Amino acid sequence: MACGSKEASRRLEHGSLTKAEGLKDLANVAEKLEKRLADAGQNPALKPLHKAARESDSSSATASPAALRKQFWYERNNASGRAELESAKSGQPKNK
């Protein structure tokens, strides 16, 4: 005796939903969710997003901590260098 979530909620509030019925309803909802997730995975519009996620995960997973630190410091120094260049162009001193 499967029912919708609103009906299950109402029956649960009134104490007329048994444990077995609740578990059955929960299993049905889980099955529907799995199907929707599988359908979403087949959606052609989402395939580029899945590919990008896989590529970014694999590149960050293979980078060593030392390489990540080096990249961080490079980006940080590069950003501060750009700020100094901009302040020099505008004639204003750099704020520290």
pLDDT in tens, 70-85: 887 887 777 666 667 6
Q: Using alpha carbons only, how large is the chain's radius of gyration in Å?
A: 27
C-alpha–C-alpha distance, residues 75 and 96, integer Å: 18
Query: What digits encode the pLDDT tens for the residues 13-24?
Result: 777 778 888 899
pLDDT for position 10 = 79
Residue 22: partners with Cβ closer than 8 Å, 6 or more residues away: 8, 12
Query: What digits encode the pLDDT tens for the residues 28-68?
Result: 999 999 999 888 778 777 778 778 887 775 555 567 888 87
**Positions of E strands within 1-96:** none
pTM: 0.38
Between the two ends of the chain, the Cα-to-Cα distance in Å is: 69
